[in-house]
Amino acid sequence: MNSTHLHRCRPTWLVRLLLVAGWLMLPAAGLRAQTTTNAFEKDILAFEAADRTNPPVPGAILFAGDSQFTRWKTIHEDLPEYRIINRGFGGSKMSDLLFYTDRIVMPYRPRMIVVNEGGNDLHAGRTPEQVFTDLKAFVTKVRAAWPEVPIIINGLTPSTARWSESGARLRYNELLKAYVAAGTKLTYLDLFDKYLGPDGKPREELFVADKLHHSAAGYTVRMSVLRPALGPPDYPDRRVLK
């Protein structure tokens, strides 16, 4: 084989080598993507299984968010006058809620949506602006399907466990407040100061032992701000216990 022929063959073998390397890398890349995007797949599958067993009635108030909703085990007893679907999944970020919107928001055809996300995003190192971008994308996605559905957006609360992140939380809250003020069918739930004592620090009695999640007293504070925003009750005859 002369040198000219060798020169002509090299590109062909190089291309083949690169293609094989690419094919070998695809499974690993796919596994990384699956791990990243489906971190809460087990939770979502559990919601879907529950819906098949007991299909929710359209027109409820949908709570979607992180562990502050997941751990609110008494939400139906605390708000008995409202028809509520709780789809909080602990540890989630705003980016996770956006990723799963088609599966844990859209199927329910709610009359109102209450959102609580962002704290875990900030704790993971994302900026308030990045979280805010995902929140706006979530609202845009919902609005494309239901232009008139009201959305209540919870401001982030302080906590002793993440007190060092208070500046980022307040910045995110300010972005939310301005966004809601310029929008329609949006409500901002201003919660931050409600969780502070006279010394300007988080009130210890409003949190459980981890100093991050709400105690029963903490949920009572949240309800005092939330209930007026929920509008007329679905069940006017039901007694409000708290």
| Beta-bridge partners for 113 | 62, 151
**Low-confidence residues of the chain, pLDDT below 70?**
1-38, 240-242
Output the pTM of the full model: 0.83
Domain limits for position 89: 56-230
235 belongs to a structural domain = no
Decide: 91 and 69 in contact? Cβ < 8 Å. Answer: no
Rounded to 5 degrees, φ, ψ at 125 are 105, 0
For 162, residues 6+ apart whose C-beta sits below 8 A from its C-beta are 119, 123, 169, 212
Q: Does 109 fall in a domain?
A: yes
User: Is 1 a domain residue?
Assistant: no
pLDDT digits 0-9 by tens, 63-77: 999 999 999 999 999
Does residue 44 lie within any of the structural domains?
no
- For 152, other C-beta atoms within 10 Å of its C-beta total 21
CATH of residue 181: 3.40.50.1110
Please check whether residue 106 lies inside any domain of the structure: yes
In a domain, 240, yes or no: no
Does residue 46 lie within any of the structural domains?
no
Helix, strand, or coil here: 59?
Answer: coil
The full length of the chain comes to 242
Identity of residue 63 = F
Residue 195 lies in a domain: yes
| DSSP label of 2 | -
Domain count, the chain: 1
